[in-house]
Structure 1
Amino acid sequence: MFTLHDQLRRDTLPVCRMKLCLVQLMNDAQYPWLVLIPSVENITEIHELNEKQRKLLINEIAQAQRVLQHCFEPHKLNVGALGNMVPQLHVHVVARFREDSAWPGPIWGKLPARPYEDAALRSTIARLQNAFITRV
């Protein structure tokens, strides 16, 4: 049975579910940051997905990119599947801006996470959900 890794459960908040992936928002208000987690049990690497799942994952990453582009108009979209700290397969899709604190470098390890304030969190999740529903 598929379950979300404890670290992902602690660090992210639910946005929606796509055909393959759970879509979670990283609780770090410094960057609009989605995490896509394929709901497949015991998978740590993309190559472990079957061909249909791999194609679906790429399509869902592209959808997440379109949503972030639509909602936030970033200068760049970063995509990464590291898994060094959390072995469960998950893909980060991050909206980046020239004025963000980590630009132009990677976001990992730059600054501690700054959790969303309640109103901003609710607003951000609602905005993302609406964009996923309307399939921008």
Structure 2
Amino acid sequence: MRKKCFKGMPPMPSRSFEMDERLLRDSKPLVTLELCQARLMDDCRWPWVILVPQRKGITELFELTPLDQAVLTFEQMTVAAAMKETTSATKINVAAIGNIVRQLHIHVIARTEGDANWPGPVWGFGTAEPYASDQEDEFKNRFLKALHR
């Protein structure tokens, strides 16, 4: 059984941490972890979570402190495992691209054979399909249950 380290004091973001407006617009809050805000991309074609480290001015992984790099790796793997459990996906894609939104954020995307663009990338494919309220709530509940196992 996996042990999670998400209890205790709430995480403290950098004092002037601000999330890029595009990340705020395109995603919805799921949970705040020790380092990152986990957010659900508002596109129901793929279960897609982004992790945004709560650090000011960071655009690259190597700009994080060694401790933050370790915490990010742990959170990334924990979220990926929860996505796999929640979705039974064929493959979990993890990427940090940042060509358009420079603020460091990690994509964790559950892919399934036969999904909207399998096996191609999700970026730039078609038009996002926002979650219906009940569909979003159902995914969030299943994901958070898997995350905290």
Same fold at TM > 0.5: yes
Counterpart of 2:119?
104
Q: Which has the larger radius of gyration?
A: 2
How much identity, in percent, do the aligned residues show?
35
Q: Look up the SS of the partner of 2:148 in the other structure.
A: helix
Q: Look up the SS of the partner of 1:37 in the other structure.
A: strand
- Alpha-carbon distance between aligned partners in 1 of 2:143 and 2:27, rounded to the nearest angstrom: 14
- Alpha-carbon distance between aligned partners in 2 of 1:131 and 1:22, rounded to the nearest angstrom: 17
* Deviation digits for residues 63-100 of structure 1 (CA, Å, limit 9, x no counterpart): 01110011001000101101111111000000000111
Counterpart of 1:22?
37
Query: Which residue of the other structure, out of 125, 128, 140, is the alignment partner of 1:113?
Result: 128
- Alpha-carbon distance between aligned partners in 1 of 2:30 and 2:139, rounded to the nearest angstrom: 9
* Deviation digits for residues 1-39 of structure 1 (CA, Å, limit 9, x no counterpart): 111110000000011011111000000000000000000
- Alpha-carbon distance between aligned partners in 2 of 1:14 and 1:45, rounded to the nearest angstrom: 22
Query: Which residue of the other structure, out of 11, 15, 21, is the alignment partner of 1:6?
Result: 21
Counterpart of 1:80?
95
- Alpha-carbon distance between aligned partners in 2 of 1:15 and 1:133, rounded to the nearest angstrom: 12
Q: Look up the SS of the partner of 1:123 in the other structure.
A: helix
Give unpaired runs (5+ residues) of structure 1.
none
Query: Which residue of the other structure, out of 45, 55, 62, is the alignment partner of 1:47?
Result: 62
Query: Which consecutive segments of 4 or more residues in structure 1 shift more than 6 A?
Result: none
The alignment yields a C-alpha RMSD, in angstroms, of: 0.8
Counterpart of 2:5?
none
- Alpha-carbon distance between aligned partners in 2 of 1:67 and 1:35, rounded to the nearest angstrom: 13
* Deviation digits for residues 28-69 of structure 1 (CA, Å, limit 9, x no counterpart): 000000000000111000000011111111111100111001
- With 97-106 and 29-38 compared, the bigger mean Cα shift is at 97-106
Which of the two has greater helix per residue? 1
- Give the CA deviation at 1:111: 1.4
- Alpha-carbon distance between aligned partners in 2 of 1:120 and 1:89, rounded to the nearest angstrom: 28
- Alpha-carbon distance between aligned partners in 2 of 1:133 and 1:4, rounded to the nearest angstrom: 25
